[in-house]
Amino acid sequence: MPVITAYGFFGAVDRLPGWVMQSIRRGAYPPWRFAPIMAAFFRGQFLELVMAERTAFVERNTLETQVKVSINLDGTGKAKFDIGVPFLEHMLDQIARHGQIDMDIQSKGDLHIDDHHTVEDVGITLGQAFSKAIGDKKGMTRYGHSYVPLDEALSRVVIDFSGRPGLQMHVPFTRAVVGGFDVDLFQEFFQGFVNHALVSLHIDNLRGTNTHHQIETVFKAFGRALRMAVTLDERMAGQMPSTKGCL
Ligand SMILES: [Mn+2]
């Protein structure tokens, strides 16, 4: 970013009209006179960087679970989980890695009953964190999609940060349990995410006989679709990705 800033500045200097450059050379504008302008320029750039930081921390406490989520949409896929549901952590790791999103999720929940509340509430809190981190969506790509195979399995995930919740999930699981995890809960996770991130999400497992492969392709494709959707599009800078003017 500092490199881009420097290029931006010197690029602008380069485009100054000839008479300005000549007066600078003549000494009409000694360099110290530019100090306030340069300071303002870099302060502006800095503020823009700070404001553009797409991170969020959300804490959500109920009588069933206490969940803390930190994310950075412009991360490198660093992931830290303390949830107590290993298979869910394995799947969340796919979102972080393939979405290039830094994620730190901690949860204390009523796992002595079952994983249900924890899985649903992690989905809800993650959705809230996304909603917070994307801000006003200006310059955002908005749509994302991905196909991911894993051996015999193939899944497609399509997402739209439309501001409206909607989930279409079609995954014909071949088993009811995977890694000690009830496969019904994946729908709960995604429904929780969708309701709070306010996205339209279409999940289709197109092929697959191994349940672990089926769901892993879904989470990897979800991570990649997220990455595409939240990526800032330079040509859309400052614009809403909608003719409505808001999302
Ligand atoms: Mn796996």
Q: Are residues 23 and 106 in the same domain?
A: no
**Per-residue pLDDT at 125:** 98
* pLDDT bracket for residue 50 (50, 70, 90): very low
Residue with more model confidence, 224 or 44: 224
Instruction: Assess if residue 241 is contained within a domain.
Output: no
Domain count of the fold of the chain: 2
Residue 229 Cα to ligand 1 middle (Å): 24
d(CA 97, CA 111): 26
Residue 202 Cα to ligand 1 middle (Å): 22
Which residues, including other chains, have CB under 8 Å from residue 175's CB and lie 6 or more apart?
183, 211
Q: Are residues 117 and 177 in the same domain?
A: yes
Instruction: Assess if residue 13 is contained within a domain.
Output: yes
Residue 34 Cα to ligand 1 middle (Å): 57
Q: Are residues 46 and 63 in the same domain?
A: no
Q: Are residues 79 and 35 in the same domain?
A: no
Is the pLDDT score of 224 beyond 80?
Answer: yes
Residue 90 Cα to ligand 1 middle (Å): 7
**Per-residue pLDDT at 35:** 79
Instruction: Assess if residue 17 is contained within a domain.
Output: yes
- The closest of 209, 97, 204, 228 to 155, measured between CA atoms, is 204
**Per-residue pLDDT at 215:** 97
Residue 96 Cα to ligand 1 middle (Å): 14
Q: Are residues 184 and 172 in the same domain?
A: yes
Q: Are residues 32 and 70 in the same domain?
A: no
Range of the domain at 39: 2-51
Is the pLDDT score of 206 beyond 60?
Answer: yes
Instruction: Assess if residue 237 is contained within a domain.
Output: no
d(CA 128, CA 75): 18
Instruction: Assess if residue 113 is contained within a domain.
Output: yes
**Per-residue pLDDT at 6:** 52
Of the candidate ranges 101-105, 228-232, 240-244, the one whose mean pLDDT is the lowest: 240-244
Q: Are residues 153 and 31 in the same domain?
A: no
- Round the average pLDDT of the chain to a whole number and report it: 90
Q: Are residues 141 and 67 in the same domain?
A: yes
Is the pLDDT score of 104 beyond 80?
Answer: yes
Instruction: Assess if residue 106 is contained within a domain.
Output: yes
- 121-137: average pLDDT: 97
Q: Are residues 60 and 173 in the same domain?
A: yes
Instruction: Assess if residue 217 is contained within a domain.
Output: yes
Q: Is 111 left (phi over 0), alpha (psi -120 to 50) or beta?
A: alpha
**Per-residue pLDDT at 216:** 98
Residue 59 Cα to ligand 1 middle (Å): 28
Q: Model-level pTM?
A: 0.80
- The closest of 194, 127, 204 to 167, measured between CA atoms, is 194
